[in-house]
Structure 1
């Protein structure tokens, strides 16, 4: 966990934490492999060795793979913690910031469902709920704010390119949340709009649907040296 002077340029007086996950896939059996969060100059970036293999499509996009119970990112081993340790550290990060609002892109349909599932499974849901004031998904929020501009895509990487004029290392959770924090400061949504898009984990369906042709059994992976 890194700390520096907090960013006081946010349009909302409420503390904000920008949050993202990288996972083994997109279906109901996917697992967390990376959790990252930033708030101003504070950051958290942690990795987990999943119980299952990273699916080929996800590995191609994120660079994560598992071999002999070790997690690799672009073929380099990364330091990992247990899922419980990662979620407990995330809750401590939130508490340090004083019940912030958790902000992410497309988190209502995916990240928050996965987060809620694992918090429930590990008996940490009450601790999380007491540490936040709510959640906001910037995908529908940006869609409402930019409806007159009609951007070709509401994907975060495209919004960052269009509004900030830069490209960044997408599909790395830490780079994603850093980019989203900057994007949010440019969008400057009103407190009323933030309130409109606020939700809680209790308000979402925690079931994750499998994409077509995806199942819980990942295809076997070749050793890293064969890639």
Structure 2
């Protein structure tokens, strides 16, 4: 009976989706360049040609550059979609997983604010909100969980190095979320801690944040591919256990 109860409790837990953005810079007026998400063996990885210039520092760190309205990553041309297509794909990904809990490192102060701005701009916020059950920022969560560990830096790269003993290709959104998923499986926060750090887009916005003017709705750009034509390539569904090793 106890086994049955524990199994039912496990099934009732929401799925976990780890997500990350790469952007044109670090201020609240910057734009999305890459959106990636992972949940177990399911992954999503899409790119957008931004409407503003890549900041030099961001290009140096991420390897993204825009030339003649095309996006390059480490000098290699990457296939892109419009911002609307990327967000619609993300919503479809979340729905496929049954209203999951969305997690990311430092998302409350950065990623979620940019995501909200894009969703509001394209009138997709209601659809997005209906596809998720809540959000967790793993930065403050890890700080509380590891406050007595002696760890000095709670940057994701440092936590992965300290707790998993590996380095990985940081500042690539897909690699970041894969590493975060592996890190979270080691952290194993309690249900109480998860509840304490859970937030919504509404509660997030009650905190002071830099305001940013809305940009115009993006138009299609040269080199963009039809979304659903390549959706299977963007969303990879694999069976079996997650490979916890990261680069």
**TM-score higher than 0.5 here?**
yes
- Equivalences for 1:153-192 in 2 at 5 Å? 153-192=153-192
- 1:196 paired residue number: 196
- 2:27 paired residue number: 27
Work out the CA distance in 1 between the residues paired with 2:59 and 2:179. Answer: 21
**Unaligned regions of 5+ residues in structure 2, if any?**
1-9, 213-247
Q: Deviations over 1:59-116 (max 9, x none)?
A: 0000001010000001111000000000000000000000000000000000000000
Count the aligned residue pairs: 201
Task: Provide the aligned C-alpha RMSD in A.
Answer: 1.7
CA contact (8 A) 1:35 1:173 kept: yes
Work out the CA distance in 2 between the residues paired with 1:12 and 1:74. Answer: 42
Work out the CA distance in 1 between the residues paired with 2:103 and 2:152. Answer: 23
The alignment partner of 2:153 has SS state of coil
**Unaligned regions of 5+ residues in structure 1, if any?**
1-9, 211-227
Q: Does 1:89 align with 2:89?
A: yes
- 1:217 paired residue number: none
- 1:117 paired residue number: 117
Work out the CA distance in 1 between the residues paired with 2:156 and 2:211. Answer: 22
Work out the CA distance in 1 between the residues paired with 2:209 and 2:68. Answer: 30
Work out the CA distance in 1 between the residues paired with 2:12 and 2:104. Answer: 15
Work out the CA distance in 1 between the residues paired with 2:122 and 2:106. Answer: 24
Bigger radius of gyration, 1 or 2? 2
Work out the CA distance in 2 between the residues paired with 1:41 and 1:132. Answer: 19
Work out the CA distance in 1 between the residues paired with 2:34 and 2:85. Answer: 12
The alignment partner of 1:204 has SS state of helix
The alignment partner of 1:168 has SS state of coil
Work out the CA distance in 1 between the residues paired with 2:91 and 2:128. Answer: 6
- Equivalences for 1:40-189 in 2 at 5 Å? 40-189=40-189
Work out the CA distance in 2 between the residues paired with 1:106 and 1:40. Answer: 21
Scaled by the length of structure 2, what TM-score is found?
Answer: 0.79
CA contact (8 A) 2:14 2:98 kept: no
Q: Deviations over 1:166-193 (max 9, x none)?
A: 0000000000000000000000001111
Work out the CA distance in 2 between the residues paired with 1:11 and 1:158. Answer: 32
Work out the CA distance in 2 between the residues paired with 1:169 and 1:178. Answer: 10
Work out the CA distance in 2 between the residues paired with 1:122 and 1:47. Answer: 17
Say if 1:104 and 1:82 are closer, same or farther in 2 by CA, change over 3 A: same
TM-superposed deviation, 1:19: 0.4
TM-superposed deviation, 1:204: 1.8
Work out the CA distance in 2 between the residues paired with 1:28 and 1:19. Answer: 18
